[in-house]
Structure 1
Amino acid sequence: MNIPQKLYFIFICTFIWGGLLGCIAIAMNSETQSLVLRVDRNIAVEAHSSSMEQQLAKHAQSLVAAIAAADRQIAVSTIASIATAIIAVSLFYRSSLKSLERSQTDEQSDRDDSVRQAEITINKEKEIEAKLTKINRCLLSFCTDPSGNINLLTALLGELLGASCTLYSSLDHGELCAVGQWQTPSEFERVNRTEGRICHDLIQQNSDEVWVLSDLLTTKYAQTEPSIQAHNINTYIGKVVKCQQQVVGCLSAWYTTTYIASEIDRQIIDIIAAAIGIEEERRATQKSLQDEQRYALAAQAARDGLWDWNLNTDRIYLSKRSQMLMDLAVENSQTSATEFFQRIHPADLNAVQIALGEHLAERTPQFESEYRITLADGSDRWLLCQGLALRDAEGKPYRIAGSQTDITERKQAEVQLRYQAYHDEQTGLPNRILLMERLRRAIDKQKYQEDYLFAVLFLDIDRFKVINDSLGHSCGDRMLKAIASRLQTCVRPGDTIARLGGDEFTLLLEAIGDEQEALQIAERIQQRLALPFYLGEHEVFASASIGIALSTLDYEYPEDLLRDADTAMHRAKTLGKARTETFDPSMHGHAMARLQIEIDLRKALERQELRVFYQPIVSLKTGKITGFEALVRWQHPTSGMIPPIKFIPVAEETGLICAIGWWVLQQACQQTRYWQERFPSEPPLTISVNVSGKQFTQSNLIEQVDRILQETGLAPTSLKLEITESVLVENAEAAAAVICQLRAMGIQFSIDDFGTGYSSLSYLHRLPIDTLKIDRSFVNNVDCEPEKIEIIRTIVALAWNLGMNVVAEGVETKTQMYQLQALKSEYGQGYFFSKPTDSEAVEALLMTQPDWEQDLRAMAQSVQGKRSKTIKP
């Protein structure tokens, strides 16, 4: 029997036994009828409780009634008990059977759920184990390159999370730069740190939690993130990466579908973000080491000395180079601040302390000062000291460190260049610039000192050209030096003797009593010059035409004084030379002549009397013509060819120089473009055009140059504009702005007649100048005057250090060309190659294309042969 049948049998037996016992008890009860009635009621209740047993209840009631009618009390009780038991057993059986079935069903369902749950747990554990294994393998495969490791981790994140693409962006000076990426579109590579971008917002929150955003197409980021709409991105998961508690980047995964990040996914992102943070620290450490090594190498190469001042202990660490520079012997590489400052020249100490105080007070971005160190032998060494202060959280400096550089040679070069800027190289006398400054001071002094009187003497050596042409330039130069020496014996202390160029000298006589005193000095000069000059085997005599301009006319400008003295000098020369004339306002002859030049010059443009001549510029390396300089000439209908020195000053004074300059530029660019097409070369021929100071100050300068280039079709890179040093000095800031704008167009710039004026090295360093043109006065007689070689070598070295080319003007002999080539001057220009000539002659020159390289090669071979003979025993 099965379990339900057994239970049914047990319950039947139990209740039959109970019924028998009940019959016995009833038989003993005297109140049989009452019992029957109670049984009747119980049966009715039981029948009512189960609708399925209604028929059985009715049958039981009929049986009880029959028994009662027969008045057989015991039988009635027994039968009633049996019926009741049968009903109870039936009801209990049905209830037990149903309960048992439900229990079995629930037990089976629980067993199935447990099995399924176990299987799910096992699968999850296997999946987690597999992912952790992959992470472990990735970490074990790391190389020494942190960036490569970061890229591996980024790709692993995408693989483990099933992302469409993953990206790690590192913060780099306010921008996010992609370091690691996996299946990432190009626009993810670098993004400006702008408000509204997902990664930037995450970084700004600076939270350690994983950030999950879904339905991105419906958020504000759909407008601020171009990649969302472009690639249909739906879900973003991101986390900031930290290194030493500082946010260094952002790790993110991007999905084109809706993705719900599980707790395991979040833990994986945490693990990979932490690993990337470690690699970022390694990357920063490597970069720091590289920077330190690079700085050490740079400092060693630059021969800089290092210093480190602990402001709390007042001790200064000095590297060995710093100790040597400061002439200190410190065994432990440290010295006190007091001893350090004692080494500085007393005249420079105050400036150093002021500069240091300004930086420590945060009024300057860095400390920088130049000072002298007095060495044991009494000489001075110039040092450039630079440094930066380190500050605590409150902004208080506790340390300052930096470097020291020996700038003695630079200072000496500056002194030499400054001397050259204010002095004539040939005679050592002050030049025009220094004279004009002293004239300006004298005029200003007279304004507040009414009885102050001074005079300007303008000297022109008579017939000097004859001496120069007959005896040669070498003798002419020596004569000029001898004249300068004699002039110095004729003046008083405090007076100024200047050489303006050629055979013209100017004297400034300050604090004279009256005109007669100036005339006496002029007479003394005439007497000294009348004495013979001995130039080698030659005895030479000289005289001078002298013009005097007195300050009694209340001059405003030095140029006016010089002009009137020049007018008086020309008057003296016209009247027979070797004489002195004082300027008189009635002297209108010369002024009228100049006025006539002005009138004729205005008509010269209309009548097309001006001509553009061209002088080649030759490479001293290849011997090839690389370009030309455009020079203006005036073909006067009655006076013939007038040189520039006669009409350019008038043009400058009257402002006509601007119209002439633009005309020359137009003609030169047009002609050069024609030559480039007819005589193609690589690189193309260039044209150098002088720009006057007045042109350079015109407001439409840039527009004019651009218009001419557009009209002529000449490339900006083929044009070189030549300016003088005075243009930079007169208005440095404005000149710098114009030069930078034109240079941005591709136009090159040259400093013309370099060394004869004044140039600030700071301007040369800051401005985009391409070429320095060495003035012809330095090139003349370079073969017989060693000091000129040193000057040229200095200028060439300066140009090279500033990244500039060098063109030597006034090359007239082969020897000069060879020496300039040996001095590493890259280009030459002068009569040796060609005089300034018209365009037709230039075309003939270009067609023959003379190759001076052969001369250079022949000279080099000759020099080598002489050396070989010298070496032989």
Structure 2
Amino acid sequence: MPSEAGETTYDKAKILIVDDDRVNLKVLEGMLRGLDAEIHLALSGEEALELAMQHHFVLVLLDVMMPGIDGFQTAEQLRSRGGTEDIPIIFVTAISKEQRHVFKGYELGAVDYLFKPVEPEILQSKVRVFLDLYAQRQALQASEERYRTVADYNYDWEIWFSPNDKILYCSPSCERISGYTADEIIDGEDIFRRIILDEDYDSWRHFMADEMRVDGDSFDFRIFRKDGRERWISLVKFDVRKDDGKSLGLRCSLRDITDRKKMEIQLRHQALHDPLTALANRTLLMDRVARAMERANRHEDFHFALVFLDLDRFKVVNDSLGHIFGDSLLVEVSKRLWECVRGMDTVARFGGDEFVLLLEELDAPREAFTVIRRVLDQLREPFLIEGHQVQTTVSIGVVLGAQEDDRPSDLLQKANIAMYRAKESGRDRFDIYNDRMLQRAVDLMHLENDLRKAVQEREFRVYYQPIVSLEHGGLAGFEALVRWEHPERGIVSPGEFIPLAEETGLIIDLGRQVLEESTRTLARWGREHEQAEKLQLSVNISARQFRNNDLVQDVITALQKSGLQPGRLKLEITESTVMDNVETSLLRLQRLKEEGIRISMDDFGTGYSSMSYLQKFPLDQLKVDLSFVRRILDSTENAEIVRAIITLAHSLRMAVVAEGIELEEQADLLHSLHCELGQGYLYSPPVPAKQAEELLLKGIPAARPR
């Protein structure tokens, strides 16, 4: 039994000496005194039987000839009683050594005979044999008890399979883990076949039979508990062998890892899926694209398409209604995308407002167009989110299959390029990738690098286009327009670099440079030339500039540095820009008006043209877009459209300027419609500051009173 110190101690061996002669008892006791044993004495068979019921003796030294119950009778009763039937008996006798007496003793279960007088050495030698056997048995019993204690009270489910797969031992923990008792596990016919899930059983069976996977190898599988619940189990097995190498079977430890498995599955899902929409993320998408490409390489009839989507004007939603609202919109978009594809397709959120569809097992590449048109139609339908109705569209780029040297990242790049081409072509549409697009994308990349360098090194120049009075022909002001003098390419068209500057955010710094340069120039002209003291300066503000929170301060700073009066600065802002976020736009425009700055709505008539909103905004001027001016002479209908714009502006106490005037007839008609101001190539193209200053001093030949 265990001691307090944790060591194992054993009960002292007990020996019973039975003889009706006290002298013989003392003699035998004396012979055994040096042995590590507890000696008990009995003077009769009856006393011996009584002591045998009270103690566990490892050996009985029994005299044969005794009054009452003799030694043979005592031995016979010991053998017939439960608990004493296995006690070894050595007869110590002085009776005849005749064979019949010896045989009778052995028949009664004696293990040996000693004849009086007994030699001490012989007695001690024989008794030591039984003491050693007792010590070994005690050690084995203690070892078994220790193992059983560990096994029975182990939190894990311990089980021992014999070499022929019979269950030799099963710990009580099995009931906590499986719902089955140890007896049900041991006695149950093919119990593991019944409780292991079908899809895991063959793998479990192969693992158990694999002799190379032992001594700590583990296997995870699922079982059905007795109550029907599914649980994940981890099994670790050890090969049990005897000293001679013979197998004793497998000892296995089973542990319930359901919570851990759920966490692993959750973490794996999180690692491969977008947390907001639960769609596949970029990592999972790239893996599936790679697999689709491998299948396409192996099978000529396997077709797939990669579809890159970007929501149009999503930033407007985010900026106007907040990121939480924007996230809700992304979730709803993801749901609609799922409705548009088939079960084998992949829908992924690539980042921000970008999504990717991987369409696999297409009967033909053109089948992808059916899905894409369905997506376009679905996303045109308004979304109702938190009481707000939101309209959005999507620009889509498509790659049909892969070329021989393509990598998954190449396909994504190509689809992305095609998507940007669709966006440039008017949005709410799709474009299919071709190699010309890649070259254009490379050119744009070089252009962006040059653009960044140009902003840093101030390669941009401000050109000025005169604005004249259609009434008296005098110069009313200038519009500041930016031109890029590229060191290698010469003058770069604004239509080429302005959209790129807007997209990259470089328009903020570029616009700041134009504002500072143009206000400084007009202020200098006002100081040097009397006729320039009241000229107006019109400066275009892009959508990204207008959304920039530093805009008002940038304008104030430019005015302060240049000394130009705020009332001489007119900021031109497009309809679509102010309508992106009406409330924010109104606050920003009012802040500019408080500083005395004038506001003009550019390209009027091409956007929302909402009367209710126009009344809200503190505008000073409307600019009629050149598309209307160019067609004004084509039909009376076109002229009436311009008349309506001018009438609307005047009703709101705003002046009107028409851009794109190239013909005298256009100017005459605009004047007859009561348009106050005009600009265009009829008067002068945009020119550098020096030439603009000459126009200021010498006048504009085409400008005349009417």
The alignment's TM-score, normalised by the length of structure 2, stands at: 0.42
Q: Which has the higher helix share?
A: 1
Larger of the two Rg values belongs to structure? 1
State the structure with bigger RCO (CA 8 A, min sep 6), 1 or 2: 2
The alignment's TM-score, normalised by the length of structure 1, stands at: 0.34
